[in-house]
Amino acid sequence: MFNNVNLIGYLGSDAESRTIRNNSTLTVLSLATKRTWKNHETGDRESRTTWHRCVVFGKTAEYAATLTKGAHLQIVGEIQRRDFVGRDGAKKYVTEIRVHRIAASTAWRKSILPRPPHRRAFPINSQVSKPGSNSAAAVKEQRASILKLKMIGTVHAPWKRAPTTAE
């Protein structure tokens, strides 16, 4: 059995960072996750926000210290529960997420950045250097055959459906 948590949500406040013993960094994050469902009785959509206290140590904590309120994050870690004595002398318990990995979402960038240039599904230059075909005529013939293959549809992009013989 293992203890593994994967959360995706938004930071509710800027990261709080401090140095602890051995000059190690500790960063505390406040992550909000939202659950939405449809109420079967009323037909309305309802939601509930849950706040998670996330604790980060080491090099990951140094990165987490740069995060600001509103950042969209994916956090991978484990649930830990610890107890302490409060200022009033009473024993208190806290449940928190001990973070192992953080990934900042880049979904917002996709809408503003242009698409990368198209890569050829069948690069011509890599096919030119066959052993024994160093002459200019052989290279020209090989490029013509590759172009012919592209035109009849046997070379296709991997994300498209491969042509069948019936087409």
- Looking up tokens 């960063």, which residue turns up? 27
- The per-residue pLDDT for 22 is 86
87 and 19 inside one domain? yes
- Residue 11 buriedness (CB in 10 A; 0-12 / 13-18 / 19+): buried
Asked if 36 and 103 sit in the same domain, the reply is yes
User: What domain count does the chain have?
Assistant: 2
Output DSSP code: residue 76: E
Q: Residue 25 and residue 65: Cα distance in Å, rounded?
A: 9
Instruction: List the CATH number of the domain containing 47.
Output: 2.40.50.140
Domain that holds residue 63: 5-110
What tens-digit pLDDT sequence spans the chain (167 residues)? 689 999 999 999 999 999 988 888 999 999 999 999 999 999 899 999 999 999 999 889 999 999 989 999 999 999 999 999 999 999 999 999 999 999 887 554 444 444 444 444 444 444 444 555 556 777 677 666 655 554 444 444 444 455 555 54
C-alpha torsion angle, residues 134, 140, 143, 148 (rounded to 10) = -140
* Together in a domain, 13 and 52: yes
Residues 78, 103, single domain; the answer is yes
